[in-house]
């Protein structure tokens, strides 16, 4: 080893300091972005099989930089979650997406809107009240709204989760488990919870053509969904081969670059016109 222990220690603390500084900087920048209304929403179409009709869209947060660049949610959502900024950020995403998709409803387009809810948001005691307030303010129909949550979140905070899930469900809001297959969920709770939709994680869909165990896994999840009466959505579909595989297994819906990337609102409107959904 070239490094003495002492040198390694110094390199380690230097890197750690740089990391901490970067996070603190990003937190400050994110606050500014929220103040300056730089958080916007892109929409990715969700498509029904086998006909390929667009049934809805998923709202995905975007942070637009003054120079036109974009920070990926993979970078800022975890920091927003740690710092509590996810509460105001989540509200911005909810309000903006409901407002925009409601204008499509008013134009006669019957679309579902899926919004991601993070663990911190989900543990807020006034989550349901703030959802109610946004529904009232925008006039968005509760039965066209869906929330995506992760199985790990539900299992970790089962008691609070149960209450919130039931209250949201009673309003007609659909509930989806996101990234299904990556966490641990008990089939018992799957049956007990008011869940409507499972979204199979992209990491499994990606390899169905050349990894027999991933193909088996996706097939099993599809059968599981059918047996529990849940809608099954495959995420991250990029190729015709993946689509053919999912079609053969009677998967209900897909989402992925094969049909469309997440789009800014105006581009979504154009996509839907070409799609013949209007
Ligand atoms: P997610 O909820 O699993 O969202 C799907 C992600 O997969 C999106 O990334 C989407 O652009 C990407 N994707 C969709 N189809 C394909 C495909 O065919 N190929 C590939 N390679 N990727 C595909 P995005 O927009 O970067 O978001 C990343 C994650 O950030 C989301 O994963 C979600 O966990 C989180 N996120 C985004 N917006 C929000 C939000 O408003 N609130 C919360 N709490 N989390 C959000
Ligand atoms: Ca999602
Ligand atoms: Ca997902
Ligand atoms: Ca694999």
What is d(CA 221, CA 180) in angstroms, rounded to the nearest whole number? 9
**Residue 37 C-alpha to ligand 2 middle, in angstroms?**
22
Which of 73, 94, 96 has most ligand 1 atoms within 8 Å of CB, for mutation? Answer: 73
Closest C-alpha residue for ligand 1 atom 37: 60
Question: Torsion angle of alpha carbons 121, 123, 128, 129, nearest 10°?
Answer: -80
**Residue 171 C-alpha to ligand 3 middle, in angstroms?**
24
Give kind and range of the element (H or E) at residue 135. helix 127-138
pLDDT at 193 (0 to 100):
86
Burial 232-271 (b: 16+ CB within 10 A, else e): bbbbbbeeeebbebbeebebbbbbbeebbebbebeebbeb
Atom of ligand 1 nearest to the CA of 118: 44
User: Model-level pTM?
Assistant: 0.93
Closest C-alpha residue for ligand 1 atom 23: 236
Mean pLDDT of the chain: 92
What is d(CA 197, CA 174) in angstroms, rounded to the nearest whole number? 8
Which positions ≥6 away from 246 have C-beta within 8 Å?
A: 49, 205, 208, 218, 222, 234, 237, 254
pLDDT at 124 (0 to 100):
87
Ligand 1 in reach of 143 Cβ (< 6 A): no
Q: Return the minimum-mean-pLDDT range out of 75-79, 191-195, 196-200, 244-248.
A: 191-195
Q: How many residues does the chain have?
A: 278
Give residue 73's pLDDT band: very low, low, confident or very high (50, 70, 90).
Answer: very high
Is the peptide bond prior to 108 cis by the omega test (within 30 degrees of 0)? no
Atom of ligand 1 nearest to the CA of 201: 3
Q: What backbone torsions phi and psi does residue 52 show, to the nearest 5 degrees?
A: 80, 15
Give kind and range of the element (H or E) at residue 44. strand 39-48
Ligand 1 in reach of 45 Cβ (< 6 A): no
pLDDT at 213 (0 to 100):
94
What is d(CA 73, CA 94) in angstroms, rounded to the nearest whole number? 15
**DSSP type of residue 65:** -
What is d(CA 240, CA 168) in angstroms, rounded to the nearest whole number? 36
Within 10 A of 17 (CB to CB), how many other CB atoms are there?
10
Closest CA to 29 of 17, 14, 39: 39
């Amino acid at each position: 080893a070239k490094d003495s222990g002492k040198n390694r220690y110094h390199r380690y603390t230097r890197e750690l300091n740089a990391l901490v500084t970067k996070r603190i900087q990003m937190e400050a920048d994110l606050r500014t972005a929220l103040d300056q209304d730089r958080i916007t929403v892109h929409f990715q179409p969700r498509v029904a099989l086998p006909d390929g009709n667009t049934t809805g869209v998923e709202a995905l947060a975007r942070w637009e930089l003054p120079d036109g660049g974009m920070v990926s949610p993979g970078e800022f959502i975890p920091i927003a979650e740690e710092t509590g900024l996810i509460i105001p950020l989540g509200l911005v995403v909810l309000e903006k997406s409901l407002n925009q998709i409601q204008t499509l409803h008013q134009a006669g387009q019957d679309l579902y809107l899926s919004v991601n809810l993070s663990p911190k948001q989900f543990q807020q005691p006034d989550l349901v009240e703030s959802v109610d307030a946004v529904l009232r303010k925008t006039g968005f129909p509760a039965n066209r709204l869906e929330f995506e949550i992760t199985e790990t979140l539900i299992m970790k905070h089962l008691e609070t989760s149960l209450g919130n899930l039931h209250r949201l469900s009673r309003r007609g809001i659909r509930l989806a488990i996101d990234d299904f297959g990556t966490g641990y969920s008990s089939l018992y709770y799957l049956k007990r919870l008011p869940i409507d939709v499972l979204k199979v994680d992209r990491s499994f869909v990606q390899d169905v053509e050349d990894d027999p165990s991933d193909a088996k896994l996706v097939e099993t999840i599809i059968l599981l969904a059918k047996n529990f009466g849940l809608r099954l959505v495959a995420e991250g579909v990029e190729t015709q081969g993946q689509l053919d595989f999912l079609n053969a297994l009677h998967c209900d819906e897909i989402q992925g670059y094969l049909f469309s990337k997440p789009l800014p609102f105006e581009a979504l409107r154009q996509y839907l016109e070409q799609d013949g959904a209007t």
